[in-house]
Amino acid sequence: MTDAIPDSQIAPKLPRHWRWSLYILATVVLLMVLYGLGRLGHVALGSFYTGERGPYLQQPSPTSMTLRWQTTEAETGVVRYGLQPDQLQWQVEEKQPGEEHEVRLSGLEPNTRYFYAIESKEKSLYAGPDFWFFTPPSVGKPVATRLVVLGDPGYANPRQLVVQDVMQTWLELNPRPDRPAFDLLLTTGDNAYRSGTNEQFQAGFFEPYASWLRNVPVWPVYGNHDARRWAFFDLFSFPLDGESGGLPSGTEHYYSFDHGQVHFVVLDSTASSMDEGSAMLRWLQEDLAGSHQPWLIAAFHHPPYTHGSHNSDSRGDSGGRMFDVRENILPLLEQAGVDLVLSGHSHMYERSHLMGCHYGKSETLQPQMMQQPVHKDENALYIKPAAGRVANQGAIYLVLGSSSKLDQGPLDHPAMAVSEGEMGALVVDINGSRLDARFLTDRGMIADSFAIVKGDTTVTPLQCAP
């Protein structure tokens, strides 16, 4: 006969409500694990796109240009090019077949229009008089420069197309003899909503702007929505080794380039450290010290000043990155004589006075920090005292995040001369010692325009407190 097990050695049975609680907890944990695995798979799959993608231009320099495109099947691409659409006497062939194609053309002449055709060994893919590009002028050459800036452009919707149509109409009404309609296309980040998938880049960026991308090099800023997937740095070719001018950065996250008499600096305010002494800030100081171009334009995603759909006075907004920009990046840019700073993130339009030395919250703004506090005016003219670049002569800080979507906000930051809850895009013309900028809305109106002119020695430079 088997001895009975003492009651003291029998595990007590859990009450029914405890058992149900454990079952629910285990179910929740399982669902979270499955959700996490599903999201991981979705992120991975979202970094791929299997359709066709038309040509777009990257890494321009006075003597070279990169062409990229995508095919549905693995093919060996061939780019033929020449000075006339029917005389494409030169060609470059890829070394191996693939679906994503990237060809670098070199040995080009500066400031010259080239026509091109893209083929595989089996068929012609893109050809005709509409496929061309202009090489940039030689660095430092005084050639007029025009750029179009799209703010957070990647939300596919009809009003996005209206913004583009309005800009295209303005460009056609304001042509430049023997020059392209504009030289460079810049963005302020968030080029694909909502999650930066490859498919969203196709729908929100490559398809709507295809007619511009095949002719004009694009320089997209890295935004927080772009960073939600892995596609961004696979889709674009950025200069690691100074291919387009400036100091080599060794990373695609931040870099500089030159066009004529303009030095552009593109920074990563989304993922790179902006702490004092960080790699990006050390590179920035060295790059700025080595550039002597008369104009300096900087671009990054997070604005130092905004009371739009984001609040630059709130350290809890966007992980404090707007604070980091204002406190650590602006002093370096202003010391180098920056003229125009472009950012997005807030989905509206805000444009500052010509100002500097303001690195705190909005309530710390002082009158002496504004060079010339000109308010909204169709002919707002700002004067900088010296030609070229001199420290702390004032800069315009511009927030443009409304080329494809519009949100709400108080729009009452005291640094701003103009604040508009309007969708639109920006066109900037630089010619000699004058910069002109216009904000065109989707209603076909110029909601803001301003100019910066350099060389009036009667204007006193700003004096930043130590």
pLDDT along the chain (466 residues), means of 10: 51 61 68 51 57 97 98 96 97 95 98 97 92 97 96 97 98 94 98 94 97 98 95 96 97 98 98 97 98 97 98 97 98 97 98 96 93 66 87 95 97 96 98 97 96 82 76
Looking at the fold, whether 424 and 279 belong to one and the same domain comes out as yes
Residue 374, number of CB atoms within 10 A of its CB:
16
Q: Which of 134, 157, 185 is the last residue of a domain?
A: 134
Residues 239 and 103 in one domain: no
- The conformation of residue 328, written as its DSSP 8-state character, comes to I
Residue 427 located in a structural domain: yes
DSSP 5: P
Residues 342 and 400 in one domain: yes
Same domain assignment for residues 80 and 200: no
Torsion angle defined by CA atoms of residues 242, 245, 247 and 251, in that order, rounded to the nearest 10 degrees: -40
Taking the C-alpha atoms of residue 184 and residue 429, their distance in angstroms, rounded to an integer, is 11
- Examine the domain organization and report whether 70 and 163 are in the same domain: no
Name residue 82's amino acid.
G
> What residue numbers bound the domain in which 386 lies?
145-454
The pLDDT assigned to 461 comes to: 75
171 and 85 in a common domain: no
Among the three residues 134, 161, 193, which one is the final residue of a domain in this structure?
134
What per-residue confidence (pLDDT) applies to 43?
Answer: 45
For residue 146, say if its preceding peptide bond is cis, omega within 30 degrees of 0.
no
Instruction: Record the tokens describing residue 3, joined without a space.
Output: 């001895």
CATH number of the domain to which 121 belongs: 2.60.40.10
Residue 345 lies in a domain: yes
Distance between CA atoms of 215 and 184, rounded to whole angstroms? 9
CB atoms within 10 A of CB 90: 15
Question: Are both 59 and 168 inside the same structural domain?
Answer: no
Q: Examine residue 180 and state whether it is found in any structural domain, yes or no.
A: yes
pLDDT, position 6: 53
- CB-side exposure of 132: number of CA atoms within 13 Å? 20
Here the CATH number for the domain that contains residue 450 is 3.60.21.10
Model confidence, pTM: 0.90
Return the closest-CA partner of residue 99 out of 69, 122, 78, 58: 69
* CB-count burial class (<10 Å; 0-12, 13-18, 19+) for 428: buried
Biggest CA pair distance of the chain: 113
Residue 246 sits in the same domain as residue 120: no
User: CA 102, CA 25: separation in Å to the nearest integer?
Assistant: 51
Q: How many domains does the structure of the chain reveal?
A: 2
Q: Is the residue at 20 inside a domain?
A: no
Is the distance from CB of 435 to CB of 452 less than 8 angstroms? Answer: yes
Indicate if 209 and 78 belong to the same structural domain.
no
> Based on the domain organization, do 408 and 278 belong to the same domain?
yes
Residue 466 included in any domain: no
Residues 176 and 119 both lie in one domain: no
Give a yes or no: residue 464 inside a domain.
no
Of 103, 134, 165, which residue sits at a domain end? 134
Which class for 381: exposed (0-12), middle (13-18), buried (19 or more C-beta within 10 A)? middle
Residue 24 lies in a domain: no
Tokens of 211: 């007619």
Same domain, 294 and 166: yes
- Whether 36 maps to a domain, the answer reads no
